[in-house]
């Protein structure tokens, strides 16, 4: 198929490359010229495992091209919209400027029979609002939310847990949209193991925001339990393991820590709450504000713990291991690691950060001391904070690091270190909700 993907961020660029990997001819469109130049040369503009190979392979074969000009989409039959929906400046709601611009941009090129596929995370009701303009061109609109995780984006796109089609009410248009997506995803659907769920626009839009709201709630739940564990000297990791064995609860997303960040969960729960309020359900979804407050409190609590462990942060050198919001990513958006680094500085600490992915970005920004690796950061430090659980950090040898540090104090902000190993090497260890 001839496919176009509008928006070449984490979602769009990975989707474009993955669709080319499935054998389609794909053109990716973005307004950012520098990003398009980089992608066109086969180089990824962000850190994402496996993406570089898929990108390079498909650019090289000529199946995948990029452009800033919508005219490049002229002979496409399937148009994916994967642009960002950031938080509005004036409220917690989602800013749909880029979604509207994408639809406006492609309207002149739409022909009878084309299918437009929304992938961006949008407030419920958006697809129904956009559909008439698309249908006026003889095309139709389907909403096909994306559930990929950064760090696993290529795998999640090519081997998704499920595929959701939010279809138009008109049966003829619905059949056409469904057939187009079935052809596009034929290789993924071929062995019949990937559930493909058909529903209306509203339900598909709600599936996406409710999934992220549920995940955020699960994390804040376990972080609240971590606070209870701290209060009584219990161990949240053991608690999570025990409740997670009940498969109605499940053990995933029950890792207590310094909280969730990134470009999706924090923004999406706010946007969903704002939309729910418009629907008269503000009180019903007030718990999402609590979810956010618990999340934010985790950073402050980590700083308090470090303050206590070091006997006062003023003038102390703190090595912060990790800056990205999660490992295998260079994404600094809403990163708890970064928030903590800032809070530590406000409390008078001398902070040095290291991150295998985001380190170069931070160094270029120049507003914080960045070390090349964990050993360099820890050398001469009074305390260590594990803020992002990169493999290279969880595998550090505490025995070898002990003589390099000035203070053998470690706060495991992701409960990812082998506590006993660090204690045996003479470190004062504390986790989040465990000691």
Contact call for residue 254 and ligand UGA (CB under 6 A): yes
Sole residue written with tokens 């506590």: 419
CA distances, 339 to each of 120, 195, 300, 325, 421 (Å): 27, 39, 9, 10, 28
Q: Minimum distance from CB of 95 to ligand UGA (Å)? A: 16
Q: Minimum distance from CB of 406 to ligand UGA (Å)? A: 29
Interface positions, 185-214, toward ligand UGA (CB under 6 A) = 212
Q: Which one, 225 or 377, has the nearer CB to ligand UGA? A: 225
Q: Minimum distance from CB of 190 to ligand UGA (Å)? A: 23
Q: Minimum distance from CB of 362 to ligand UGA (Å)? A: 17
For residues 415 and 256, the answer to whether their CB atoms sit within 8 Å is: yes
The residues assigned a catalytic role are 264
Contact call for residue 88 and ligand UGA (CB under 6 A): no
Find the part of the chain contacting ligand UGA (CB under 6 A) among 30-38, 171-179, 258-266, 426-434: 258-266
Q: Which one, 105 or 336, has the nearer CB to ligand UGA? A: 336
What's the length of the chain?
A: 435
Contact call for residue 257 and ligand UGA (CB under 6 A): yes
Contact call for residue 261 and ligand UGA (CB under 6 A): yes
Q: Which one, 114 or 330, has the nearer CB to ligand UGA? A: 330
Contact call for residue 144 and ligand UGA (CB under 6 A): no
Find the part of the chain contacting ligand UGA (CB under 6 A) among 15-23, 142-150, 310-318, 417-425: 142-150
Tokens of 166: 């939010």
Find the part of the chain contacting ligand UGA (CB under 6 A) among 78-86, 195-203, 251-259, 427-435: 251-259
Contact call for residue 47 and ligand UGA (CB under 6 A): no
Calpha distance 411→392 (Å, rounded): 16
- When binding is defined by CB under 6 A, the residue of 19, 110, 215, 371 that contacts ligand UGA is 215
Tokens of 358: 């985001």
Q: Which one, 8 or 174, has the nearer CB to ligand UGA? A: 8
Q: Minimum distance from CB of 260 to ligand UGA (Å)? A: 3
- Between strands 196-200 and 163-167, the pairing is parallel
Calpha distance 282→277 (Å, rounded): 4
Q: Which one, 11 or 374, has the nearer CB to ligand UGA? A: 11
Contact call for residue 149 and ligand UGA (CB under 6 A): yes
For residues 334 and 305, the answer to whether their CB atoms sit within 8 Å is: no
Q: Helix 201-232 to helix 287-310 angle, to the nearest 10 degrees? A: 30
Q: Minimum distance from CB of 45 to ligand UGA (Å)? A: 17
Q: Minimum distance from CB of 253 to ligand UGA (Å)? A: 4
Calpha distance 431→419 (Å, rounded): 8
Long-range CB contacts (< 8 A, 24+ apart) of 172-181? 173/135, 173/140, 176/113, 176/115, 176/140, 177/115, 177/117, 177/140, 177/141, 177/142, 178/142, 180/1, 180/77, 180/78, 180/115, 180/142, 181/78, 181/115, 181/117, 181/142, 181/144
DSSP state of 86: P
CB burial of residue 135 (10 Å; 0-12, 13-18, 19+):
middle
- When binding is defined by CB under 6 A, the residue of 255, 317, 408, 434 that contacts ligand UGA is 255
Q: Which one, 211 or 234, has the nearer CB to ligand UGA? A: 211
Calpha distance 288→285 (Å, rounded): 6
Q: Which one, 236 or 409, has the nearer CB to ligand UGA? A: 236
Please, how many CA atoms are within 13 Å of residue 150, restricted to the half-sphere of its CB? 22
Contact call for residue 355 and ligand UGA (CB under 6 A): no
Sole residue written with tokens 């950012």: 32
- Which residues of this chain interact with ligand UGA, rule CB under 6 A? 121, 146-150, 212, 215, 219, 253-255, 257, 259-262, 264-265, 268, 325-326
């Amino acid at each position: 198929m001839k496919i176009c993907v509008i928006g070449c961020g984490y979602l769009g660029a990975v989707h474009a490359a993955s669709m080319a990997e499935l054998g389609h001819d794909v053109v990716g469109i973005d307004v950012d010229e520098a990003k398009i130049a980089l992608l066109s040369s086969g180089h990824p503009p962000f850190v994402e495992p496996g993406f570089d190979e898929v990108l390079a392979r498909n650019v090289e074969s000529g199946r995948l091209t990029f452009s800033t000009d919508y005219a490049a989409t002229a002979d496409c039959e399937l148009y994916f919209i994967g642009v960002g929906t950031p938080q509005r400046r004036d409220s917690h709601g989602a800013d749909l400027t880029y979604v509207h611009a994408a639809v406006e941009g492609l309207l002149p090129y739409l022909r009878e029979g084309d299918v437009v596929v929304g992938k961006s995370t949008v407030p419920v009701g958006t697809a129904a609002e956009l559909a008439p303009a698309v249908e006026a061109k003889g095309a139709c609109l389907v909403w096909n939310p994306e559930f990929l995780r950064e760090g696993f984006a290529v795998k999640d796109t090519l081997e998704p847990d499920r595929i959701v089609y939010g279809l138009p009410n008109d049966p003829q248009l619905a059949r056409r949209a469904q057939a187009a997506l079935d052809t596009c995803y034929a290789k993924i659907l071929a062995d019949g193991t990937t559930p493909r769920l058909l529903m209306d626009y509203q339900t598909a839009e709600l599936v996406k925001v409710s999934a992220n709201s549920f995940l955020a709630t699960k994390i804040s739940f376990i972080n609240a339990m971590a606070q209870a564990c701290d209060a009584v000297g219990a161990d949240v990791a053991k608690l999570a393991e025990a409740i997670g064995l009940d498969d109605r609860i499940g053990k995933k997303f029950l890792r207590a820590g310094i909280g969730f960040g990134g470009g999706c969960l924090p923004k999406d729960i706010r946007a969903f709450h704002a939309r729910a309020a418009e629907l008269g359900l503000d009180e019903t979804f007030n718990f999402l504000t609590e979810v956010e407050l618990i999340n934010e409190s985790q950073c402050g609590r980590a700083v308090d713990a470090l303050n206590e462990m070091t006997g006062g942060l003023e003038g102390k050198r703190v090595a912060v291991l990790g800056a990205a919001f999660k490992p295998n990513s260079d994404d600094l958006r809403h990163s708890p690691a970064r928030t903590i680094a800032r809070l530590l500085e406000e409390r008078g600490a001398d902070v040095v950060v290291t991150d295998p992915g985001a380190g170069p970005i931070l160094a270029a920004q120049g507003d914080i001391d960045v070390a090349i690796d964990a050993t360099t950061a820890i050398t001469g430090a009074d305390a260590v904070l594990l803020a992002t659980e990169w493999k290279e950090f969880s595998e550090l040898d505490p025995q070898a690091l002990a003589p390099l540090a000035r203070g053998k104090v470690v706060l495991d902000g992701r409960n990812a270190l082998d506590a006993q190993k660090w204690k045996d090497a003479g470190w004062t260890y504390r986790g989040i909700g465990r000691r």
